[in-house]
Amino acid sequence: MAILKIARMGHPVLLQKAEVVSDPGSEEIRRLARDMIETMHDANGVGLAAPQVHVPLRLFVFRVPPERTSGDPDDQAVELRVLMNPEVEPVGSDVRLRWEGCLSIPGLRGAVARPWRVRYRGIDLEGNEVTAEVTGLHAGVVQHENDHLDGILYPMRMRDFRLFGFTEELARFATPEQRP
Ligand code: NI
């Protein structure tokens, strides 16, 4: 197990389109996933995509902490999930603004409008196909991490840069509707 170095915004690996994982069950991929889980927990993040640790492969890990779920029945806590070669599609037309942060953009948060409900599929570490239809934080994290696989960082999805700032300053000065 190892804690990996996280690429920060400005590093070109974060703008690359990642490659399909061709050997999901291999020891190399299992080790990468284990190290990414350890790195995510060490950094206190809820998600981490392989390009963020300088590996341009279509793989991410995430969790949905119980205290951050929305209360929606399709937004349940998830202790940990590894997803490879994911496909994500919006369900319905409900788009909501949610605050996001990113381990590659430390100290900052921004409000991003994304589909509230998505359906996704992918392969887990055991090689099994995973499918789910989710909302809230779960849907937001999956979309954010999936974007990393296409070289997209959350500020590239933002429309209102007044809703972008340092977490500490937002907590001090933001109006209630701007507050993360
Ligand atoms: Ni991120």
* pTM for the model: 0.95
Q: Could you report the per-residue pLDDT of 36-45, keeping only the tens digit for each?
A: 999 999 999 9
Catalytic residue among 145, 168, 169, 177: 145
Give the homologous superfamily in CATH for domain 12-65+74-173.
Peptide deformylase (3.90.45.10)
How much is the mean pLDDT over the chain? 95
Q: Could you report the per-residue pLDDT of 42-90, keeping only the tens digit for each?
A: 999 999 999 999 999 999 999 999 998 888 889 999 999 999 999 999 9
Using CB atoms within 10 A of its CB, is residue 67 exposed (0-12), middle (13-18) or buried (19+)? exposed
pLDDT of residue 178: 63
Ligand 1 centroid to Cα of residue 72, in Å, is 23
Does residue 176 carry a pLDDT above 70? Answer: no
User: By C-alpha distance, which of 147, 95, 140, 146 is closest to 121?
Assistant: 146
Q: How many helices (DSSP H) and strands (DSSP E) are in the chain?
A: 3, 8
Is 145 known to be catalytic?
yes
